Each structure stands twice: as C-alpha cells, then as structure tokens.
Amino acid sequence: ETGVTQTPRHLVMGMTNKKSLKCEQHLGHNAMYWYKQSAKKPLELMFVYNFKEQTENNSVPSRFSPECPNSSHLFLHLHTLQPEDSALYLCASSPTSGTRSTDTQYFGPGTRLTVL
C-alpha cells in the first residue's frame, strides 16, 4: 500500500533545532495518526486526528506539536528535542476514528529521526 507518504525519510537534528515531519495520505481517509517506534519498545500512539480535530493526545511532551490543516495532511513539529526522542515516527490513516474498531489503519514508511 503506497497511499501514505512521509517526508523526510531520514532526519538528523540537534537539540536546539526546529524541524517538521510531513505526512500525506491519498486514500480519502478522515483519520490520521502519529506513532513512535523506539528500539525494544512497542509502538506508541502519540496523536489522533479525526476530521482535522485532535481527538487523542497520549501524554506526549509539548516539544512535539502536531498540526492537521486538512484530512489529507498531518505534520509533526519538533523543537528542543532530547536524544531519547530518536526513533522511527510513523504516520497512519484510516477511514474514520469513530466507533468502528474494525477499520484498518494504513501506515507510511516512517521518518527515521536522530537527535544529537
């Protein structure tokens, strides 16, 4: 499935930098998600957007700031990150984030982030 794209694929940044991750889905979905995948830890859900509205913030530090200008685009703005924030950040989309737990989420390839 190539319907979800993420840029950049790799990012190296210093702790004082500001950068943004971009996700775009071409599937006509209404819900979008950010996940963090760290080594030796299960995937962690960070944020959920449904029809451009944030419906979940899973206790994510404020140095991560999501933005969803429309149902097709999702950004993750990064500032003053820590080395422990180095991880693979995955974006996903699904038809809806309502009560339909049967909906499949479609994932992008991820952005490999390294914080120096």
Note the residues at the interface with another protein (CB under 8 A).
1, 4, 6, 31, 33, 40-43, 45, 48, 50, 55-56, 90, 92, 94, 96-110
Q: Closest distance between another protein and the C-beta of residue 74, in Å?
A: 14
Nearer CB in complex with another protein: 6/85 = 6
Sign of CA dihedral 12, 2, 22, 105: negative
Phi, psi of 84 (to 5 degrees): -70, -5
Q: Closest distance between another protein and the C-beta of residue 91, in Å?
A: 8
* Angstrom distance (rounded) from CA 58 to CA 92: 15
Spatial CA neighbour of 80 closest among 45, 110, 111, 115 = 115
Q: Closest distance between another protein and the C-beta of residue 80, in Å?
A: 27
Nearer CB in complex with another protein: 14/98 = 98
Q: Closest distance between another protein and the C-beta of residue 36, in Å?
A: 11
* Angstrom distance (rounded) from CA 22 to CA 88: 13
Nearer CB in complex with another protein: 80/105 = 105
Sign of CA dihedral 74, 7, 11, 36: positive
Nearer CB in complex with another protein: 23/115 = 23
